[in-house]
Structures are given as C-alpha cells and as structure tokens.
Structure 1
C-alpha cells in the first residue's frame, strides 16, 4: 500500500468513526455530511472519494455495529448448558446490546437505501452471518429439521424477539421497564422452544 493509499484509508476510517459517533448521539438525523467533512478535515466533495455515497457510509457504520453485536452474542454462548438456555441467553444479550447502543441498533433497521439502490452483497452477508447464533442451538433442539425449515424458524424466532424488543423500547408507544422486558423475552423464547420441542416429539 502506497503512502497516499494509506492516508486515504486512514481518512476513510476516521470518516466512518465520525459517522458512528454522530449516529450514536442523535440517530440517523444526526448524520450531516458537511459536519462530518469538517470533523475529519476534508472538503464536502472529498467525502465521496472515501465512500460511494451516504448509504455506503451508513452501511459501514452498521458493519461496525454488527461486528460488536457478534462479539456480544458469542460471549454468552459458551455459558449456559442446553439449547434452550443458550437461546434465552442470546436473546437477552441481544436485548441488552440494543439498549446500550440504541441509535446504532435502530439504524440497522431504520436505514433505507436511496431509490434504485440495493444493499450490497457484503452488507447482506454480514447480516446473515449473525443468524448462526440462533440456528446452531435451534438445530440441536430440532435435529430432524431440514435446512429450509431451520432457516425459516431461525428468522421467525429472531423476528419474534426483535418485535417485542422494538415495541418495548419505543418510548412513544408502550415502553416497558427493563426487568419486565427481559422477563417477556425470556418467556417468549421458552414458550417457542417448548412448542417446537413438543412438535418435534410427535
């Protein structure tokens, strides 16, 4: 890597870090190209030499968020014994990560690509990789489930937990106290697992 390339990459990483701080503080509404340019010491137009557009910048911030979420979920997987307990631990770790990184977490789902643009393959792949945290214990709980069914159940369980979490953290609607929210998520995962286990034993 040449010196010019190295400096450009350093500035690119500085831009992504500045965008991450802006989103963490104020959500997507806090992401202002002019302010970012001033913070990293480049012209407004130079931002688009570092990233293709603001969509890519948001996705790069999302990539960092997903990476930290991956670490948080991995850390709790080795503790509990049994597939159900691991699924509960993963769901609660997801809940705690969302609360601790509220704006960054919401951005993963609130961001919409510009009309005519699609989420790039690298970003989709990073998102899909996280489903393994659910799929692996589910496959232990349901050893006879085929690949397609396991994929569907994995996404369904995630959607159920995510939906409860979104509503529970929405202060404008039905905000739920933290302890009660975690109890609801714990109960939801156990009920789903009990139902799936019962179905599997038929």
Structure 2
C-alpha cells in the first residue's frame, strides 16, 4: 500500500472511531461532520473523500457496534447451558445488558433511517443477518422438524419480543424499568414463549 493510501486509510479509521465516540456521547442526533473533521484534523469537505456520505459513516459505526454485540452474544452461548431454552435466555439477557451498557450506539442501530430510494448496502445487511444465528441455532435444536423458513420467522419473532421489552424498559421516561427487574422479566418472557412453542409442537 502506498503512503498516500496508508494515510487515507488511517484518516478513515480515525473518522469512524471519532464518529463512534461522538454518537456514544451525544446520540445519533449529535453527530456533526464539522466537529468530526476538526477532531481528526482535516477540512470538513475532506470527510466525503473518506466515506460516501453520512449514511455510510453511520453504517460503518453500526457495523462496529454489531461486531461487539456479536461477541457478547457468543460469550453468552459459550457458557454451555444444559438446554437450548436456557441458552436463549442467556442470549436475551446478554442483548439487554449490551444495550444498557452501550445505549446510544445501540439506539443508533435502530434510529438511523436511509432515504426511501436508497437501499442498504449488502455488507450492512450481512452484518445484521449474522446475528440471527445466535437465536436460530438453539431454536433448531429445540424444533428439529421445522423448516429453515419457519425457524427464521420464529427467530425474528423472538428477537422482536425481546427487543421491544429492552427498548421500552431502557427508555428514560415513565415506562423505564430498573435493569434487574427488566432482566428478570425478559428471562420470564423467553421461557414462557419457548414453553408455549414446545406445547404447540407436541
């Protein structure tokens, strides 16, 4: 790699890390390219020589957040609980804990909206879909007769239920729930959902 390319890659990496810190501190609405340019020592217009636009910058930060979330969920899986059901409980609690510990970066994953005529790039879609394997694999062990399509739908439904509880529970408003109570409720929800699915399948 030539020196100019090395400098560009270093500056691009600095930009993404600075954006990550800014979102973590201020939330997605606080991301300002002028402030980022000042922090990494380049002209404001030069930011767009490093990324195509603000959307790409936010998605690059999101990919870093998803990678760390993936590691947290993998660590929860590695505890080797005696049943797939309890593995799903551990994954759900790890998701809740990650959201609580990385609140603004986690929120940015869901708050960011692309323009209606601007599709998500394939690499960003792949980063998101990779996470569903954590839910899919224990479900496949629980319900070996279900098709891949059925398991995929169940995995998304279970994620949606847990995500909804986390999103509402961590709201800093009247609906906020203390984290220990939220974790207890999430564990109960996952166990109840799996018990219901097993009963229906019997």
* TM range, smaller chain: over 0.9
Task: Name the structure 1 match of 2:132.
Answer: 131
In structure 2, stretches of 5+ residues that fail to align are none
Q: Deviations over 1:32-82 (max 9, x none)?
A: 010000000111110000000000000000000000000000011021121
Length-normalised TM-score, structure 1: 0.98
For 1:41 and 1:92, the matched residues in 2 are separated by 40
Task: Name the structure 2 match of 1:55.
Answer: 55
In structure 1, stretches of 5+ residues that fail to align are none
Query: Over aligned residues, Cα RMSD in angstroms?
Result: 0.8
Aligned length: 201
Moved more, 169-178 or 94-103: 169-178
For 1:160 and 1:102, the matched residues in 2 are separated by 18
Q: Deviations over 1:64-112 (max 9, x none)?
A: 0000000000011021121001000000000000000000000000001
Length-normalised TM-score, structure 2: 0.98
Task: Name the structure 2 match of 1:75.
Answer: 75
For 1:69 and 1:31, the matched residues in 2 are separated by 21
After TM superposition, the structure 1 = structure 2 runs for residues 35-114 of structure 1, keeping only pairs within 5 Å, are 35-79=35-79, 80-114=81-115
For 1:64 and 1:100, the matched residues in 2 are separated by 15
